[in-house]
């Protein structure tokens, strides 16, 4: 399945229900809850997928993580106390699942990234491509080294281009806290990238 910002919630819901039958028997919600779940999924699924993709950097892995987040959301939807916070809950779930996947596949990811960088090197601009690939790898490594709370605001603001007010609402934090975390994240990234640069010279 290919997920994007225009994906239909009905399609996503069908996949979620099919997956739930395969894993833990059929799951169903009351019709009114099912309709509400579908509407909230339509509103939130694109951002949850993009957050997973920003962390994992591989579309297939991000699709798997997003589907797992949707499945968990469907299973828990009836028990959620405040369904108005569903969007933030789904995004955080997708983010944490993506981090779990990285922790479990760190070695394989490094090998695949190295192969992908090599494959992108072409005869006409080997040095330029290598430099760009090395820079991307350094930035990704620096972002991955951030503490989780700093990494999430970095992904949402710097990569997803969400404004501070939107991120504050999404994470249910004061805007000042988001701004402070982003400042700390940028400072840590600058220090980490400086350290990585000196390490290679």
| Weakest mean pLDDT among 14-23, 75-84, 132-141 | 14-23
Binned at pLDDT 50, 70 and 90, residue 22 comes out as very low
75 contacts 27 by C-beta, under 8 angstroms: yes
Average pLDDT over residues 11-36: 61
CA-based end-to-end distance of the chain: 44
The pTM score is: 0.61
The stretch 173-179 carries a mean pLDDT of 91
pLDDT 10s digits, 66-109: 999 999 999 888 888 888 889 999 999 999 999 988 887 766 65
Q: Is the pLDDT of residue 169 over 80?
A: yes
């Amino acid at each position: 399945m290919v997920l994007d910002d225009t994906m239909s919630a009905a399609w996503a819901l069908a996949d979620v229900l099919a997956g739930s039958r395969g894993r833990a028997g059929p799951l169903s919600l009351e019709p009114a809850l099912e309709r509400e779940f579908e509407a909230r999924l339509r509103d939130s699924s694109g951002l949850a997928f993009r957050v997973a993709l920003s962390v994992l950097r591989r579309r297939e892995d991000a699709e798997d993580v997003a589907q797992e987040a949707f499945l968990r959301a469907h299973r828990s939807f009836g028990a959620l106390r405040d369904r108005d916070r569903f969007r933030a809950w789904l995004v955080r779930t997708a983010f944490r699942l993506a981090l779990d996947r990285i922790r479990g596949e760190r070695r394989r990811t490094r090998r695949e990234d190295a192969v992908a960088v090599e494959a992108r090197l072409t005869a006409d601009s080997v040095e330029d491509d290598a430099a760009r690939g090395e820079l991307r790898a350094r930035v990704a490594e620096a972002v991955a080294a951030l503490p989780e709370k700093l990494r999430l605001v970095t992904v949402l603001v710097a990569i997803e281009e969400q404004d501070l007010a939107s991120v504050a609402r999404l994470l249910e934090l004061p805007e000042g806290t988001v701004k402070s975390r982003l400042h700390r994240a940028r400072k840590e990234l600058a220090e980490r990238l400086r350290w990585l640069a000196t390490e290679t010279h």
